[in-house]
Structure 1
Amino acid sequence: MKRKKQIIVSVTNDLVSDNRVHKVCTSLKEMEFEVLLVGRKLKDSQQLTRSYQTRRMHLFFTKGACFYAEYSFRLFLFLLFRKADVLLANDLDALTANYLVSKIKRVSLVYDSHEYFTEVPELIGRPRVKRIWEWLEKKMVPNLKHCYTVCNSIATVYNKKYGTPFQVVRNIPVSKITVQPNEKENQQKIILYQGAVNIGRGLEQAIKAMHFIEGAQLVIAGDGDIKEQLEELVRTEKLDNKVRFTGRLSIEELAKLTPTADLGLSIEEDLGLNYRFALPNKLFDYIRAGVPVLASNLPEMKAIVEKYKIGAISNSHDAKRLAESINEALNNSEKRKIWKANLVRASKELTWENEEKVLKGIFAQFL
């Protein structure tokens, strides 16, 4: 019997809510790879049930330079002494250990860039830290042969910058999995934001916009660096009855929540090229769940919303003007009827089953 090729997939998060990595691992398993996904375990990490193997490392540090150094060193040692035919690194923060081991052991390396890492808002205004990541990227990316990313804009940038061809695998939901939504707790309309609760996601403005919105609740589903800050903002603005935080949800929990929403927000601010070129997971999750979208006037998101006519574009992050856009999207019944019909058609076309053909083409050469 032919031995299955072993692939180790690595990422810096705790694996619980990373839908892109989960879909990739599932597709690779379907291709008859033996998959091992490596991440880290946090104090509040939920238990995992996956169809492939997982391993989560307990780390002493949880953020900052010490975390990245510890994670890279631990991952390097793990990969060095673990048998694998292929290594898959997710994002620049997981690439260094994979790159070094691939050179030492002469193992094939594939790179999945989930974002334009060196242009994330967290690095804007931190030139020294940014230069370190740019130096690492410059040392490794030009030497990579097998790469893919989340949208055409980022693929084009990397190709021009380093001469490295990147294919595009968008983070689109699986069509064959249908989850029944939870019932709404009340008759209020739900404005949903799901994803990382970090700077530049338009969340401060969305919270303040709730002063001008009636009959609706803003639900923020996720966790991140500014969650506590946003919770304090809600208390300060006396909006406790209009804003709800769910915390980090599993993939299954989120799949039940999303279809209950009346409007999905994807209102990233134009803070650097990473957000300007953003094509977030949540946009496709909203589409799959049949939820109309309010998106920022940024090229990749705008192109999807306008191509399929499944929502509106917000041209301002001013709280009052943002509230006007939200109210219009929630209450214009004629537009919503059109959006709902178009969402059905878009969800049939935008499926992981279509998108994974590119992914399987990349990895088929290693079988």
Structure 2
Amino acid sequence: MKRVIVSVTNDLVTDQRVYKICNTLLKMNYNLLLIGRKLPNSKEINRPYKVHRFNLLFNKGFLFYAEYNLRLFFKLFFLKKDILLSNDLDTLLPNFIISKVFRKKLVYDSHELFTEVPELIDKPFVRNFWLKIEKFIVPEIKNCTTVSNSIANYYNTKYNTDFKLIRNFPYKTTTQKTDNFPFETSNKKIILYQGAINKGRGLELMIETMQFINNTIFIIIGKGDLELKLKEKITNLNVSEKVKFISEITPKKLKKLTPLASLGISLEEDLGLNYRFALPNKLFDYINAKIPVLVSDLPEMKQIILTYNVGEIINSREPKQLVNQIEKLLKKETSYFEKKLEIAKNELIWENEENKLIEIFENLN
């Protein structure tokens, strides 16, 4: 039985893409080892394959990446391996070196345009460091996958590579409204955001817009760097009864809460190519829960709306204009989007998308 070692820099708990990919590889009878890291508040995980999480001295910044990559290199060096699966640029260097030293197959899965994330745009030295790694390694990799057509086209044009598209669809599920939010929501419409609370996610815009919407609650599920700043904004704008936070929860719990919403949002700003080319997981989670969506006027998200008619594309990023579009959306009957959501829900699922991954692993170069 061939052994695949999968590596990622997060704590594995909420990374649904890695979770689904590992399940597919397990179904293909590979012996799996998943490597990540453990944070002080990381939840325990139970998987039907081996998992190793590093306890690191540093958990952010340059020292974190240096420590993680060094420890990953030595871990990979001494382990039995047949195939290496590197997730994102921040795990690629040790995987690439080990693949060359031991002549093993390497698969690279790029979850985003790492060198174009907003956090690096204003850090030219750090960004150039990662760009050098990208330019040195990516053109040499034969087995590459990514999450959107735009990202695949970007890499293939820039580096003459052959990135294949494997979108991050959820598993097919039965929509069930089997849970409740931990605060009163009766007789009110719910607008939902789920995901990282980071720069450029449109959350400030939505909080400002909530000043002008009545009988509606905006719920943010997740955690991130901007959480404290957003809570201050909520207090200053006096919308604490209209905007509620739920800290990061398990994917299982989240699937029970999402269908309770009336509208899901994905209002990323155009802060560089990573956001411009994004195809967020939450968009498909909303569709899977059969709730309509409001998305940014960015190519990948826009195409989903134009193809499946499961929501609308934002007309304006000015709060007093945005509120009009949201109120009209919320007034539409459920049946307006129901049939379209049902079609999209049955098409945009991992059970359909995983066949591309299976084909790649059955024909590794």
Which of 78, 81, 101 does residue 81 from structure 1 map onto? 78
Post-superposition Cα deviations, 1:105-124, rounded to whole Å, max 9, x if no partner, equal 21111000001111111111
Pairs aligned (count): 362
Change (3 A) 1:178 1:186: closer
Matched, 1:320 2:320: yes
Question: Could you tell me how far 1:183 is from its partner in structure 2?
Answer: 3.3
Question: Could you tell me how far 1:315 is from its partner in structure 2?
Answer: 2.7
Distance 1:327 1:176 in 2: 29
Q: Unmatched 5+ residue regions in structure 1?
A: none
* RMSD across aligned positions (CA): 1.5
Query: 2:267 corresponds to which letter in structure 1?
Result: I
> Is the 8 Å Cα contact of residues 192 and 220 (structure 1) preserved in structure 2?
yes
Question: Could you tell me how far 1:129 is from its partner in structure 2?
Answer: 1.4
Partner of 2:286: 286
Matched, 1:122 2:124: no
Post-superposition Cα deviations, 1:77-113, rounded to whole Å, max 9, x if no partner, equal 1111111111111111111111111112211110000
Distance 1:15 1:81 in 2: 22
Distance 1:300 1:234 in 2: 30
Distance 1:178 1:323 in 2: 28
Distance 1:324 1:71 in 2: 47
Distance 1:51 1:316 in 2: 47
Range with greater deviation from structure 2 (319-328 or 220-229):
319-328
> Is the 8 Å Cα contact of residues 86 and 366 (structure 1) preserved in structure 2?
no
Post-superposition Cα deviations, 1:255-288, rounded to whole Å, max 9, x if no partner, equal 1111111100011000101111110000011111
> Is the 8 Å Cα contact of residues 143 and 364 (structure 2) preserved in structure 1?
no
Distance 1:23 1:148 in 2: 14
Partner of 1:252: 252
Question: Could you tell me how far 1:318 is from its partner in structure 2?
Answer: 2.0
Distance 2:219 2:273 in 1: 27
Partner of 1:99: 96
Distance 1:194 1:48 in 2: 21
Question: Could you tell me how far 1:181 is from its partner in structure 2?
Answer: 3.4
Which of 340, 346, 349 does residue 347 from structure 2 map onto? 349
Distance 1:113 1:81 in 2: 25
Normalised by the size of structure 1, how large is the TM-score?
0.95
Range with greater deviation from structure 2 (282-291 or 308-317):
308-317
Question: Could you tell me how far 1:254 is from its partner in structure 2?
Answer: 1.3
Range with greater deviation from structure 2 (18-27 or 219-228):
219-228
Which of 149, 153, 164 does residue 150 from structure 2 map onto? 153
Distance 2:177 2:2 in 1: 36
Distance 1:316 1:94 in 2: 38
1:1-40 residue pairs with structure 2 within 5 A?
Answer: 4-40=1-37
Matched, 1:41 2:46: no
Q: Look up the SS of the partner of 2:329 in the other structure.
A: helix
Query: 2:14 corresponds to which letter in structure 1?
Result: S
Question: Could you tell me how far 1:176 is from its partner in structure 2?
Answer: 5.0
**Which ranges of 4 or more aligned residues in structure 1 deviate by more than 4 Å?**
176-180
> Is the 8 Å Cα contact of residues 181 and 255 (structure 1) preserved in structure 2?
no
Distance 1:364 1:180 in 2: 39
Distance 1:315 1:43 in 2: 42
Partner of 1:242: 242
Percent identity between the aligned chains?
Answer: 51
Distance 1:320 1:64 in 2: 38
Q: Unmatched 5+ residue regions in structure 2?
A: none
